[in-house]
Amino acid sequence: MLITEELLYSIFNMEDDELHDLISNTNDSILLHMIAGNYNWDNGFDIPQLIIKNKYCDLGTALMIFELAEGYMLFFDKLESDDNDVWFKFATELKSNIENGIYSKKSIQHIPELSRADKYKMKKIFPDISDVFLDGVIGENVQIIYIGT
């Protein structure tokens, strides 16, 4: 599928049910990546949740979502479980999915924007941290077509 700016605009102008169906039923990992890259996080976690639950979600996309959702705070801040915190549930589930190899497709590149000092701190505090959180995924460098959702 050729992903264009017009296609992305039409996707983000869909009714919620239509958009949920599209994300749940697509087998296009690059489309999922584009949607995730354009998602407006002020709209909550429904769309990212659908993306990470799609079996065609690439590890690079999952890692990008983890970074966009500020999941790295789980490594830097002393956060405790809060059953009412939607962000905490989302971030810890995604972190666990990444650690447990749920995302077997590894064709889309994502390199986290971490400084060497950040990586050093994370490795020191969490010696068993998976390298994917530090070094990312090497693969196709998919350029996000930003539409300003």
Which residue ranges make up each domain of the chain?
Answer: 5-135
- Whole-angstrom CA distances from 70 to 40, 41, 77, 91, 106 are 14, 11, 11, 8, 21
Distances (CA, A) of 20 to 78, 94, 134, 144: 34, 19, 31, 20
pLDDT at 83: 56
Task: Judge contact between 20 and 46, C-beta under 8 A.
Answer: yes
| Tokens (6 digits) for 135 | 């070094």
Q: Supply the pLDDT for residue 6.
A: 94
Give the pLDDT confidence score for residue 104 in this predicted structure: 85
Q: What is the pLDDT along the chain (149 residues), one digit of tens a residue?
A: 789 999 999 999 999 999 999 999 999 999 999 999 999 999 999 999 999 999 999 999 999 999 999 999 888 766 666 655 899 999 999 999 999 999 988 999 999 999 999 999 999 988 999 999 999 999 999 999 988 76
Is 142 exposed, middle or buried (CB count within 10 Å of its CB: 0-12, 13-18, 19+)? buried
CB 95 within 8 A of CB 142: no
